[in-house]
Amino acid sequence: MCSSDLPKDETLGGNDVENGNGENGTDSGYKEVPDQEASRSSMFTKRKVLGMTWCGLNFDVNDDIKVLNNVSGRVESGEVCAIMGPSGSGKSSLLNVLAGRSASGGGVKITGTVKVGGTKVNPVEYRTQIAYVMQDDALMATTTPREALRFSANLRLTGVSAEEIEEAVEHTLQALDIVECADTFIGSALIKGISGGQRKRTSVGIELITQPSLLFLDEPTSGLDSHTAFSLVKLLKKIAASNASIL
């Protein structure tokens, strides 16, 4: 996977990144090939066949704190890959580097190589092509899932008519199984709204509206009960079945 002639100390994005085993034992050891039944869904089509590989990733702070140490790994198109490890092992740091959200500068040095579809990329410059669902959602409490998806589509989809945007929103609502709550306030601690699982699905939908080939999720099942977490993982399998890479 990682050729011996790859540069070991190339600075990324200054950076280039990789994934696999992080400091304190972070491990991307769980992979699952999704069932082909889900590939028929009209919501999950037209994706490029892309995978991501990363080799020799290092994340150093002030030259004395090593967040990631020679991390390598890959996620293929059509796969769901989970990075597992204890708290503080560098899981989120790894995702942030791969997604181009962390770069060298200000005492931070990130080195390594990242390839997408076999082509070397700079994660910082490639970040617009990666959908990233954060651990803590930033959904507006007084909007509905339908409004949140429509807003995301209007901002991100260019050269698309209003009718096509509405069709994409409806397909996403149906694929995420949140049609029944599509017109209910998302809510907050002070405003009654949809459930935690429905909020998480809405967060995923906001990123899915552009039909990305690479989807990253930071602790997507945290705070969810076992049934809701299982349903979310099944949804991720359906997304992966359309040639997406899920990390």
Could you please report the per-residue DSSP string of 20-77?
SEEGGGEEEEEEEPPPGGGGG-GGG-S-----EEEEEEEEEETTTEEEEEEEEEEE-T
Whether the predicted pLDDT of 124 surpasses 90: no
What was the pLDDT predicted at 210? 82
3-state helix/strand/coil string of 160-180 = CCHHHHHHHHHHHHHHCCCHH
Q: Across 47-51, 138-142, 183-187, 235-239, which has the greatest mean pLDDT? A: 183-187
Whether the predicted pLDDT of 53 surpasses 90: yes
What was the pLDDT predicted at 5? 42
- Rounded CA separation 17/1 (Å): 14
What was the pLDDT predicted at 8? 47
Q: Which residue has the tokens 């050269």?
A: 159
Of 62 and 147, the one with more pLDDT: 147
Phi, psi for 94 (deg, rounded to 5): -65, -45
What was the pLDDT predicted at 181? 93
Whether the predicted pLDDT of 78 surpasses 50: yes
Q: What is the mean pLDDT of the chain?
A: 80
The percent of residues above 70 in pLDDT, for the chain, comes to 81
Say which residues have a Cβ less than 8 Å from residue 119's Cβ, sequence separation at least 6: none
β-strand 80-84 against 26-32: which pairing, if any?
A: antiparallel
CA distances from 196 to 79, 120, 150, 209, 210 (A): 25, 38, 20, 20, 23
In this prediction, residues 190-196 reach a mean pLDDT of 90
pTM of this structure: 0.75
What was the pLDDT predicted at 45? 58
What was the pLDDT predicted at 1? 57
What was the pLDDT predicted at 90? 87
The answer to whether the beta carbons of residues 169 and 209 sit under 8 Å apart is yes
Whether the predicted pLDDT of 172 surpasses 60: yes
What was the pLDDT predicted at 151? 93
- Rounded CA separation 110/132 (Å): 20
Nearest Cα to Cα of residue 231 among 220, 241, 242, 247: 220
Amino acid at 111: T
What was the pLDDT predicted at 54? 93
What was the pLDDT predicted at 193? 92
